[in-house]
Amino acid sequence: MKLKRTDFPPDFRFGAATAAYQIEGHSFGNAGPSHWDTFAKGPGNVVGAEDGAIACDHYHRWEADLDLIRDAGFDAYRFSTSWARVTPDGRTPNPEGLDYYDRLVDGMLARGIEPYLTLYHWDLPSALADIGGWTNRETALRFGDYTDVVLDRIGDRMAGVATLNEPWCVAWLSHFLGHHAPGLRDIRAAARAMHHVMVAHAESMERMRARGQKNAGIVLNFEASYPATDSAADKAAAARQDAIFNRWFIGAICGQGYPEEALEGLRPHMPACWEDDMARIAAPIDWLGVNYYTRGLLKEDRSQPWPHLGSVTGPLDKTQMGWEIYPDGLREVLCRLKDDFVGDLPMMVTENGMARDESQSNGNMGDVERIGFIEGHFQAALDAIAAGVNLNGFFYWSLLDNFEWAFGFEKRFGIVHVDYQSLKRTPKASYHALKAMLYR
Ligand code: FCB
């Protein structure tokens, strides 16, 4: 890695990111069932019919995993609390779960690592799935109660808190495209979820304001969405994708409302009186987390229902996910956020990383592609800072190889390799490259 820590502003935070369901092992510690446990049991939903029951067994190995974060020289750790672990029935606190997060946070502080908490990284309690999950407004209100339960216990030690991770995935990917739990393909369910996730964000922010929680915000995912050709139809398709994926959430938070290109299809299916929630949703946040992985090339496809979208595979090098490697899209996304939405609000890159096929490498962890990927995106972050973006942190996704949702354990994003038989951790070359850059 040619870049140095000193190329970044002095208070810039480097971190690693994970999420509870992907690493902890959901069968431990009296966690309640979540909709990912049951979705994973549906035919064809997860590659290899795998689930998060054991995952990386981080629940028992968290001390060694925190040592890995400290030893790499990271300043911060982005983790999530599992809603289904904290309140197994969606309501009643689980002392064992809260004790676990309490120890985990103290473990971070003991190692000089700043805790950045995400309250919802997709592990909805099954009891709430039973009442309709995100299609039911009640879930958003319960999310407020859960916010208080978690922060009563660990809120005093958080450097930053995000309400939800990637509401586009929670709502659209899961209720319209059907790829994630609960696996629906239903526009009415999707429209309701698209709004209720934002009500949940508002509810959680209000609870945090009431308790004086510092540095409260949200993590959104963005892609640079381009038309595949210059045709008017493809340009309009890219604009619809941009509206649903990028602008819906940040536009609402910034008081711009939901974009017309998305409402044209969703309006008839929205919950009653949704407009009345928009002022609450637009309450100020203290920081924005930005997840960025790739760009999208969109075309119109009239064989598909609204929004009539088809995607085109671009010519750039790809990760194991098939995602094009396009670091400059990160600079573009960050500059656009500054110019069109958040101005000088502090931002952090809360996820960026690549899955790489290590099956060929026979235990050889010399992942040069991943090191190049990281360096390319660090450079894009520096370019954004040079252009005036108030970016003050960057978390690599992910610390460990882990349960990659519908892809099971096949896609490996970690800078630390996990052998899923022995659960042994082995730092990869990218871990060592980051350590050489970051360790002071
Ligand atoms: C993001 C998710 C994260 C991980 C990465 C690869 O969408 O937030 O949990 O799956 O993608």
The single-letter code of the amino acid at 239 is A
Domain count, the chain: 1
**DSSP letter, residue 245:** I
Q: Give buried/exposed letters for 320-329 (b at 16+ CB in 10 A, else e).
A: beebbbbbeb
- Indicate if 50 belongs to the active site: no
- The residues facing 220 across adjacent strands are 290
Provide the domain limits for residue 431: 5-438
**Alpha helices (runs of H) in 40-186, residue ranges in sequence order:** 58-71, 83-86, 95-110, 126-129, 137-154, 167-168, 174-175
- Active-site option among 24, 50, 261, 351: 351
DSSP per residue, 295-313: EEEEEE-TTSPTT-EEE--
Which pair of structure tokens corresponds to residue 100? 């676990």
Number of CB atoms found within 10 A of residue 142's CB: 22
Which residues face 48 on adjacent strands? none
Q: Which residues touch 92 (CB under 8 Å, ≥6 apart)?
A: none
Does 369 participate in catalysis according to the annotation? Answer: no
Q: What's the gap in Å between 33 CA and the centre of ligand 1?
A: 21
- Tens of pLDDT, residue by residue, the chain (440 residues): 999 999 999 999 999 999 999 999 999 999 999 999 999 999 999 999 999 999 999 999 999 999 999 999 999 999 999 999 999 999 999 999 999 999 999 999 999 999 999 999 999 999 999 999 999 999 999 999 999 999 999 999 999 999 999 999 999 999 999 999 999 999 999 999 999 999 999 999 999 999 999 999 999 999 999 999 999 999 999 999 999 999 999 999 999 999 999 999 999 999 999 999 999 999 999 999 999 999 999 999 999 999 999 999 999 999 999 999 999 999 999 999 999 999 999 999 999 999 998 765 555 566 899 999 999 999 999 999 999 999 999 999 999 999 999 999 999 999 999 999 999 999 999 999 999 999 88
Q: Which amino acid is at 387?
A: A
Q: How far is CA 34 from the centre of its chain?
A: 18
For residue 352, give the CATH number of its domain.
3.20.20.80
φ, ψ of residue 193 to 5 degrees: the values are -65, -40
| Catalytic-labelled residue, pool 24, 50, 114, 166 | 166
